[in-house]
Structure 1
Amino acid sequence: MSNQFLLNHLASFSIAGPDARSYAQSQFTADVDRLAGDAWSPLAWCDPKGRVLATMMARAGENRVDLVLPAVQCESIREGLGRFTIGRRVDLSESGPVSGVFDGLGEATPLAFDPERGLLNDVAAPGDAAALRNWRRLDLCQGLPWLEPESSARHLPQWLGLEELGAVAYDKGCYPGQEVIARLHYRGTVKYRLAGLEIDTVEAIDAHARITDAAGAGIGHWLGGMALESSTIGLAVLATRAESDGAVLVACGERAHSARVTAPETLC
């Protein structure tokens, strides 16, 4: 019996051709020249202001770079990347499904930061609700900040914890937003950080929902999360002044819910 299950919140496409690696190197935050085909590694695509358009998982072969990203962003990101291929010997494939594996990876390629989990692009395995929930919770615990259209082009990579995931290289060539990102790394002060949040009730929080302190001052934004049996957990971008174990307020329609600030790894 197959242990593969569909990750219906993700989708995939590939960049293929003689210039695939050099093209990807010119677009993404990670050093594509160091990527291999035996692990999925995180990276980001940014706008010229250094704001992250999408976070992705990538693996690279000789003439191919495979990408996995949120399904709600896949077509817009694929089309956006396609606008910069003029003069490059590359083709972008049609989007396809993504499946996951927990045990006995088989043909699945492991995640670089979690080798006990594996991804298969262009594979539509059967659905498994329990396995999917477990997968999504592990992504939260490991601080993997998947974006949605509402949270795209809002945050610098450092605010999303992408440095800690090894998704940003400072010793490679130029890519969109590189000057802004490098300036913050070498000369700036990081004013925001990735944090975990816990809400004691089951709530549906919109992507990029506003987060305030007790006095009502803006302190950050919700990225995404999931409901558990009696609570809600998620990731947020918060001002560095927000204390761990402190309380913040997360907007939900006309209401605001109290949430405890914690490290992402405590969400499991």
Structure 2
Amino acid sequence: MTHTASTLMPFFGLIRVSGEDRASFLHNQLSNDINHLPAGQACLATYNTAKGRVIANIVLLNRGEDIILIAAADLCEILQKKLQIYIMRSKVKLECMAEWGAAVSVPTSTTAPTIPAQPQYVLSTTQTNQIWQITLPDNSTIQIGKINQLPPLNTETAKAWQAHEINSGNPWISATTTETCVAQMLNQQLIGAVHFKKGCYPGQEIIARAQYRGQVKRGLVLIETTSALSTGATITDSNNEEVGLIVNQVQQGTITLALAVIKHSAAEIQLQYHNHPIDIKKCFFTTAITKNI
């Protein structure tokens, strides 16, 4: 699959996890099966509170000698501090990779992006000249390397990547939306970020209960409006009652595209933001999914 030229994406930051206990430590903290992530491969995961709220969604790359965590840059310090608390006697070292960054690209295909039919627990990777490339489930890519070896920021390409992620139903949690949603509200169970047979981790009981007892009543929608939106802002109904929040947004000309988490019951009513109408273009949850999670 061919992709657009890459652009530096300042949204992302990196944390290096090293030490002989790195895999087992992360396995016990994150939502995916890190113990069985092969060297040279990548996966998705979430780091959650004890109440199952997503602190950050993460791309993990197992480089063999270490594991790299890729998450929102404004959450990296928070992630590092929270993980540091649980190291105790484990032989693990956490380091912020300030000289490293991430670049992104999107497929040139005009086919509308979709959520994969089956969860993708291992992501394909390539390595060229110290640059690692990871292909995400929606076929966009993330490349990581030293910032001076990555392409410069191209605003239009960055916006195209944001729009691709939004259209794909692939949300990215940042400091303004941290701890607002459980994993299923963000479709993390559908894209392979949650492994339900791996054992305990923070929030596991809540996330498992939500999966099997139908206790999640909110989900992702693709929305469109002519009004400017703010990440983390509240969406209301016509009575100004809260029904959801903005997770990601990007401006495209006079239109703003966004991913929002809303109440399932609000999927067929008129939504608004500061009295400006919002149109739902696509629901990423269905009646079947709603019943099962």
TM-score range, shorter chain: 0.7 to 0.9
> How far does residue 37 in structure 1 lie from its aligned partner after superposition?
4.6
Matched, 1:178 2:204: yes
Counterpart in 1 of 2:270? 247
Counterpart in 2 of 1:222? 246
SS in 1 for 2:173: coil
* Superposition CA RMSD, Å: 2.4
Question: Is the 8 Å Cα contact of residues 11 and 71 (structure 1) preserved in structure 2?
Answer: yes
Question: Is the 8 Å Cα contact of residues 47 and 53 (structure 1) preserved in structure 2?
Answer: yes
> How far does residue 159 in structure 1 lie from its aligned partner after superposition?
0.9
SS in 2 for 1:81: helix
Q: For each residue in 1:40-86, what CA deviation from the matched residue of structure 2 results, as whole angstroms up to 9, or x when unmatched? A: 43211001111111111112244422111111111121222112111
Match of 1:196 among 218, 222, 236: 222
- Determine the C-alpha separation between the residues in 2 that align with 1:231 and 1:16: 44
Counterpart in 2 of 1:52? 54
Which amino acid counterpart does residue 11 of structure 1 have in structure 2? G
SS in 1 for 2:55: strand
SS in 2 for 1:72: helix
Counterpart in 1 of 2:282? 263
Counterpart in 2 of 1:232? 256
TM-score between both structures, scaled by the size of structure 2 = 0.80
Match of 2:30 among 28, 31, 43: 28
- Determine the C-alpha separation between the residues in 1 that align with 2:23 and 2:65: 7
Match of 1:98 among 102, 105, 114: 102
Counterpart in 2 of 1:141? 167
- Determine the C-alpha separation between the residues in 1 that align with 2:234 and 2:145: 34
Counterpart in 1 of 2:110? none
Any runs of at least 4 consecutive aligned residues in structure 1 with deviations exceeding 6 A, and if so which?
none
Question: Is the 8 Å Cα contact of residues 6 and 157 (structure 2) preserved in structure 1?
Answer: no
Match of 1:169 among 195, 198, 202: 195
Which amino acid counterpart does residue 138 of structure 1 have in structure 2? H
Match of 1:156 among 182, 198, 205: 182
Q: For each residue in 1:77-131, what CA deviation from the matched residue of structure 2 results, as whole angstroms up to 9, or x when unmatched? A: 122211211111111122332123458x744322241445242144342122222
Matched, 1:206 2:208: no
> How far does residue 38 in structure 1 lie from its aligned partner after superposition?
4.4
Question: Is the 8 Å Cα contact of residues 140 and 264 (structure 1) preserved in structure 2?
Answer: no
> How far does residue 210 in structure 1 lie from its aligned partner after superposition?
1.2
- Determine the C-alpha separation between the residues in 2 that align with 1:127 and 1:116: 17
Structure 1, 126-135 or 105-114: larger mean CA deviation: 105-114
Counterpart in 1 of 2:123? none
Which amino acid counterpart does residue 103 of structure 2 have in structure 1? S
> How far does residue 24 in structure 1 lie from its aligned partner after superposition?
0.6
Q: For each residue in 1:205-255, what CA deviation from the matched residue of structure 2 results, as whole angstroms up to 9, or x when unmatched? A: 2332111122322211111211110110111111111226x53112xxxx3
SS in 1 for 2:79: helix
1:10/1:34 Cα in 2 relative to 1: closer, same or farther (>3 Å)? same
Question: Is the 8 Å Cα contact of residues 21 and 63 (structure 1) preserved in structure 2?
Answer: no
1:69/1:263 Cα in 2 relative to 1: closer, same or farther (>3 Å)? same
